[in-house]
């Protein structure tokens, strides 16, 4: 059980497609305003792909954001999308959510950073440098023309005592 101040993750179910689409619209406007995306189609695609795991980021009973993890070959992961709704930002909740999410899947990770979101650039630059279990952190070239850079890193697995 979580308290109202704790962050948790919950799988986004395909039946929640319309709700998911409603949070994707402002997210895509923020990170890629020049891209024309059919939001409903994108939500459906993400919730039905076998190589994607979609999570609500929750605080207590409320949804405060979402994350999409792309499961790559060789047990690697890409943090494809990550968002905390604006009214819940700058309170440490995104960092809590990132820590939970990354610890869920130990191993090699990568992510691209949107060129349109200065907040994402600042957040991930700080977050990845302070999260426990992060090693081999490297900055690299963007994966797409809409990104400013990328990060690759490893996440340590649970400690065996």
pLDDT value at position 5? Answer: 61
* Domain at 111, CATH number: 3.40.630.30
Section 132-151 average pLDDT:
89
Residue with the two structure tokens 């790559």: 72
- Residue partners of 90: CB distance under 8 A and separation at least 6: none
**Nearest-angstrom CA–CA distance, 148 and 118:** 10
Could you tell me if residue 160 is inside a domain? no
| 47 three-state secondary structure | helix
pLDDT value at position 86? Answer: 83
Q: Please tell me the total count of domains within the chain.
A: 1
pTM for this entry: 0.87
pLDDT value at position 76? Answer: 92
| 66, 71, 72, 73: CA torsion to nearest 10 | 170
At 31-57, the pLDDT tens digits run: 766 678 788 888 999 999 999 999 999
Sign, CA dihedral 97-99-105-109, equals positive
Structural domain boundaries, residue 136: 7-155
Could you tell me if residue 90 is inside a domain? yes
Is the pLDDT reported for residue 161 higher than 80?
A: no
Could you tell me if residue 26 is inside a domain? yes
- Residue partners of 71: CB distance under 8 A and separation at least 6: 51, 52, 53, 77
Could you tell me if residue 1 is inside a domain? no
Is the pLDDT reported for residue 2 higher than 50?
A: no
Could you tell me if residue 93 is inside a domain? yes
Could you tell me if residue 12 is inside a domain? yes
Cβ(96)–Cβ(7) below 8 Å: yes
Displacement of CA 83 from its chain's centroid (Å):
6
At 47-100, the pLDDT tens digits run: 999 999 999 999 988 999 999 999 998 889 999 899 998 888 888 899 999 999
Size (the chain), residues: 161
pLDDT value at position 63? Answer: 93
Could you tell me if residue 74 is inside a domain? yes
- Residue partners of 124: CB distance under 8 A and separation at least 6: 111, 113, 151
Is the pLDDT reported for residue 1 higher than 80?
A: no
At 106-139, the pLDDT tens digits run: 999 999 988 877 788 889 988 999 988 899 999 9
């Amino acid at each position: 059980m979580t308290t109202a101040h704790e962050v948790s993750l919950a799988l986004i179910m395909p039946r929640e497609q319309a709700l998911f689409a409603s949070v994707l619209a402002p997210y895509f406007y923020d990170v890629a305003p020049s891209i024309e995306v059919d939001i409903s189609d994108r939500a459906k695609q993400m919730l039905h792909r076998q190589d994607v795991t979609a999570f609500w980021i929750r605080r207590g009973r409320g949804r405060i954001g979402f994350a999409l993890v792309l499961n790559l070959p060789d047990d690697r992961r890409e943090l494809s999308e990550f968002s905390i709704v604006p009214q819940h930002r700058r309170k440490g909740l995104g960092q809590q959510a990132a820590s939970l999410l990354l610890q869920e899947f130990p191993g090699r990770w990568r992510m691209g950073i949107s060129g349109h979101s200065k907040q994402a650039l600042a957040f991930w630059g700080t977050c990845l440098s302070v999260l426990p279990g992060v090693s081999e952190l490297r900055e690299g070239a963007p994966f797409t023309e809409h990104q400013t850079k990328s990060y690759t890193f490893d996440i340590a697995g649970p400690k065996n005592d």
